[in-house]
Amino acid sequence: MELDVYQLAAFTAESFGGNPAAVIPLDSWIDDELMQKIAAENNLSETAYFVPTGDGEWEIRWFTPTVEIDLCGHGTLASAAVIRLLGHDVWPITLRSKSGHLKVDVSADQFVLDFPSSPPYQIDVPEGLEDALGTQVNDCLQGGEMLLVALDDELAVATLRPDFGKLAGIIEHGLIITSRGDEVDFVSRFFAPAIGIDEDPATGSAHCVLTPYWSAILLKGTLEARQISSRVGYLVCEDAGDRTLIKGSTVFFLSGTITV
């Protein structure tokens, strides 16, 4: 079997920035175990697969190197760019996923993701979290499957050095660290060692939690955001009530063929 594969960086306009994702277009679904093995071989935070299901509609799935996940922003952004590359020119499109129907539109050379919002709520600090992060945690919230920790400033976010082994035993899915930004509205980092991703460099789904959180604090509907990992991601987010709109760019890196 031969499969086409594309690799793109999402949420960046520059090569070697943002979050790299592999995208594999399919005519019909292949075996789940094979998709997981391919994702492990790709060894990127996500490999996305999509299958056409109707006019302007596809079903989409995402795999980390170790598990399938329910929602992935950068993999969706990269998939939309591949759908456009393959000749689709009527937008918006619909992507059916385990998180419901997702819309993607085109705005000039950028894509706009229409995702469900996950406004976070206050929780007690999980036992062992401060030790795993190496810092005091004063504000801990839960949004969907993700935890969110707010720190005092951008420097505190940038210099955080978690113990990923300890963190994997505490956080089942992902942990967002955030603060106000020095040059943008807010910054963040995202850690998910329990699902095979120590640090993800530009996480669209995390911004479904971050956008309603910061929109309420800053009293702004549209916010500029940076994810300040070693590969910086840039996103423009809009709080649309029960939906979060996330705008970003992509850069193509490679295309090829997988033989399995």
Residues identified as active-site: 46
Report the distance separating Cα 11 and Cα 114, nearest Å: 15
H or E stretch covering 38: helix 32-42
Phi-psi region of 11 (alpha: psi -120 to 50; beta: other; left: phi over 0): left
What DSSP string runs through 54-105? ETTEEEEEEE-SS-EES--HHHHHHHHHHHHHTT----SEEEEETTEEEEEE
Give residue 82's identity as a one-letter amino acid code: V
Burial of 58 (0-12, 13-18, 19+ CB in 10 A): buried
CB count within 10 Å of CB 221 equals 12
Q: Which of 259, 256, 253 has its CA nearest to residue 19?
A: 253
Q: d(Cα 251, Cα 38) in Å, to the nearest integer?
A: 22
Using CA atoms, how far apart are residues 222 and 220, in angstroms rounded to an integer?
Answer: 6
